[in-house]
């Protein structure tokens, strides 16, 4: 009996053990291990000499496998781009160390590598998602991105050959046009386009040297060097003559009195249609940045709204733009070929050297006052600033009522005033009766102040203030005085704000 019982317990125990072991083996068969590339990022059939691979992963949220797959794909492709970018950054850093103790060549390799890296960040062509894997245990999607180095290298190499071919055609056109004064501007444009294409070819070649080094084009530096020599020779044949606009004086917020004017010569003959770019070396302002020479070789541009520089003597550069339609490309080309340019200088005195003349005609009910409420307040407020306020204006250049209101002699008087001041504040404040019918003991008056601020150097208006107000008093003269006093306070503060806005940018 004991033997039977012992056999029964052994049988039950074995049944329990086998029943537990069976499902465990079955679960293991249903959840196979992740592919090797999920953990290593590589796969034997894609050796690194011929392929660049990247792995991306994304959690599957709310059962949305499509969204997880798209994110995993994107991350895998970004990994490929990142590997290329790291190589580029290593190369550019090495180049920077090599040239840190020297002046470097005219071609900025560091800039070329940075632009190549920027291209990789935006788009790496030829990358494909080779396979995907869904990790059921961790509910995570994985993607494997593969870049075929040979196929991608062949495509880039073909693009470079096309760019070189286009550049060769443009160089031929440039050589034909440079012999004609009337067509030499076409030569400049053709050289600019050829240079742009070769710089693009150079960037693609840098990229090609990483993807497929054995396919890299070795002749681009030589082609570029010959093109640089051709452009340099062409640019050396242009000369400039400054006609006006050099050594001028302006004020912050104002304009230069005369436009910048120059003449362009090619082999000592005035030449038309040459693209010229004006730009500030110091400071800022409004300027017609791009211009072309006329048939007589003339180029002109006004300069207004000068910005502060912190320097007394400032410069504006005029240069021949070999790629005028895009300033960014022109800046890049300037690293390859030194521009042919000329400079205009102008004086921008500091605020404490700016002279201000204040002339306000003031009337109380039609009678001109000997004491000016508004002028005194303006003079007092400006005297507290760093500006030099002219205390007295000579009688022969003072403005009368007709001048202040924009008469025919206003421009002439302002030019005379420019001999003693840089800024002119001119205007009038007038009080008149408004209503006397309300009460015999109370007289109402109204007053208006009109003040204009002129840049006397360029004879242009910088700003204006126009205010009106109402007041009262027991008699005619007192009504006018009270109104003028009240208005003068508001108007003087408005003038001061306008001056600060114009000169100090406040």
Percent of the chain with pLDDT over 70: 86
Give pLDDT, residue 110. 67
pLDDT tens digit string along 124-163?
A: 778 999 999 999 989 999 999 999 999 999 999 999 999 9
Contact 167, 148 (CB under 8 A): no
List the one residue out of 420, 487, 426, 492 whose CA is nearest residue 462.
426
pLDDT tens digit string along 408-461?
A: 788 888 888 899 999 999 888 888 887 655 555 678 888 899 999 999 999 888
Least confident among 9-18, 190-199, 384-393? 9-18
Least confident among 39-53, 100-114, 401-415, 479-493? 100-114
Least confident among 16-30, 272-286, 377-391, 407-421? 16-30
Distance CA 188, CA 186 (A): 5
Query: Rounded to the nearest 5°, which phi and psi values hold at 317?
Result: -100, 140
Least confident among 303-307, 314-318, 476-480? 476-480
Q: Which residue do the tokens 């038309």 mark?
A: 272
Give pLDDT, residue 122. 60
Give the domains, in start order, of the chain with CATH numbers.
36-99+107-148 (3.10.129.140), 151-235 (no CATH), 239-321+341-349 (2.60.40.10), 352-504 (3.40.50.10070)
Give pLDDT, residue 286. 93
- Position 30 confidence tier, pLDDT thresholds 50, 70, 90: very low
Distance CA 92, CA 117 (A): 10
Q: What's the average model confidence in pLDDT over 458-473?
A: 88
Give pLDDT, residue 5. 43
- Position 491 confidence tier, pLDDT thresholds 50, 70, 90: very high
Helix, coil or strand: residue 432: strand
The 3-state secondary structure of 113-172 reads HHHHHHHHHHCCCCEEEEEEEEECCCCEEEEEEEEEHHHHHHHHHHHHHHHHHHHHHHHH
Distance CA 443, CA 448 (A): 17
Q: Which residue do the tokens 């500091």 mark?
A: 350
Query: Which position has the higher pLDDT, 18 or 404?
Result: 404
Distance CA 121, CA 134 (A): 28
Q: What's the average model confidence in pLDDT over 307-319?
A: 90
Residue 264's DSSP bridge partners are 240
Least confident among 208-212, 268-272, 311-315, 443-447? 443-447
Residue 146's DSSP bridge partners are 53, 128
pLDDT tens digit string along 250-261?
A: 988 889 999 999
- Position 68 confidence tier, pLDDT thresholds 50, 70, 90: very high
DSSP secondary structure string for all residues of 52-88: EEEEEEEE--TT-HHHHHHHHHHHHHHHHHHHHHHHH
pLDDT at 117 over 80: no
pTM of the model: 0.71
Least confident among 102-111, 208-217, 433-442? 102-111
Residue 142's DSSP bridge partners are 57, 133
Give pLDDT, residue 19. 39
* Tokens found for residue 342: 């000329």
Distance CA 115, CA 210 (A): 14
Least confident among 248-257, 380-389, 393-402, 431-440? 431-440
pLDDT at 100 over 60: no
Give pLDDT, residue 24. 33
pLDDT at 284 over 70: yes
Query: Which position has the higher pLDDT, 466 or 113?
Result: 466
Give pLDDT, residue 265. 97
Cα separations in angstroms, 484 against 295, 378, 381, 439: 58, 14, 17, 21
pLDDT at 25 over 50: no
């Amino acid at each position: 009996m004991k033997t039977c019982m012992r056999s029964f317990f052994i049988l039950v125990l074995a049944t329990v053990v086998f029943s537990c072991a069976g499902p465990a083996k079955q679960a293991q068969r249903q959840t196979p291990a992740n592919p090797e590339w999920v953990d290593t990022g590589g796969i034997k059939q894609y050796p690194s000499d011929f392929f660049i691979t990247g792995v991306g992963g994304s959690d599957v949220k709310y059962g949305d496998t499509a969204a997880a797959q798209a994110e995993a794909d994107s991350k895998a492709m970004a990994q490929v781009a990142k590997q290329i970018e790291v190589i580029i950054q290593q190369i550019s850093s090495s180049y920077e160390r090599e040239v840190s103790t020297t002046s470097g060549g005219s071609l900025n390799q560091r800039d070329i590598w940075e632009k190549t890296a920027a291209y990789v960040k935006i788009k790496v062509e030829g990358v494909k998602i080779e396979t995907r894997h869904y990790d059921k245990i961790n509910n995570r999607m994985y993607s494997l991105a593969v870049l075929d180095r040979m196929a991608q290298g062949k495509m880039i190499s073909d693009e470079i050959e096309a760019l070189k071919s286009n550049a060769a055609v443009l160089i031929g056109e440039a050589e034909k046009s440079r012999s004609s004064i009337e067509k030499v501007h076409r030569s400049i444009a053709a050289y600019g386009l050829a240079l742009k294409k070769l710089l693009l070819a150079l960037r693609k070649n840098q990229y090609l040297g990483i993807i497929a080094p054995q396919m890299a084009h070795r002749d681009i530096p030589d082609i570029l060097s010959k093109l640089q020599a051709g452009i340099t020779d062409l640019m050396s044949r242009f000369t400039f003559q400054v006609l006006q606009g050099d050594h001028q004086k302006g004020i912050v917020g104002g304009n230069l009195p005369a436009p910048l004017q120059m003449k362009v010569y090619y082999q000592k003959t005035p030449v038309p249609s040459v693209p010229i770019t004006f730009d500030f070396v110091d400071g800022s302002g409004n300027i017609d940045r791009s211009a072309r020479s006329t048939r007589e070789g003339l180029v002109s541009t006004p300069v207004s709204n000068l910005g502060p520089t912190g320097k007394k003597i400032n410069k504006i550069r005029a240069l021949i733009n070999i790629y005028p339609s895009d300033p960014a490309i022109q800046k890049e080309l300037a690293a390859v070929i030194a521009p042919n340019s000329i400079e205009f200088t102008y004086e921008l005195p500091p605020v404490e050297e700016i002279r201000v003349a204040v002339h306000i005609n003031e009337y109380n009910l039609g009678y001109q006052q000997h004491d000016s409420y508004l002028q005194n307040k303006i003079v007092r407020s400006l005297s507290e600033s760093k500006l030099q306020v002219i205390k007295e204006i000579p009688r022969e250049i003072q403005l009368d009522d007709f001048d202040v209101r924009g008469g025919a002699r206003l421009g002439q008087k302002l030019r005379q005033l420019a001999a003693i001041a840089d800024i002119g504040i001119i205007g009038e404040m007038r009080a008149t009766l408004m209503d006397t019918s309300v009460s015999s003991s109370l007289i109402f008056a109204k007053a208006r102040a009109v003040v204009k601020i002129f840049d006397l150097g360029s004879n242009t208006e910088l700003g204006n203030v126009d205010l009106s107000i109402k007041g009262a008093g027991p008699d005619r003269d007192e009504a006018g005085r009270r109104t003028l006093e009240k208005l003068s306070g508001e108007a003087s503060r408005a003038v001061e704000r306008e001056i600060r806005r114009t000169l100090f940018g406040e």
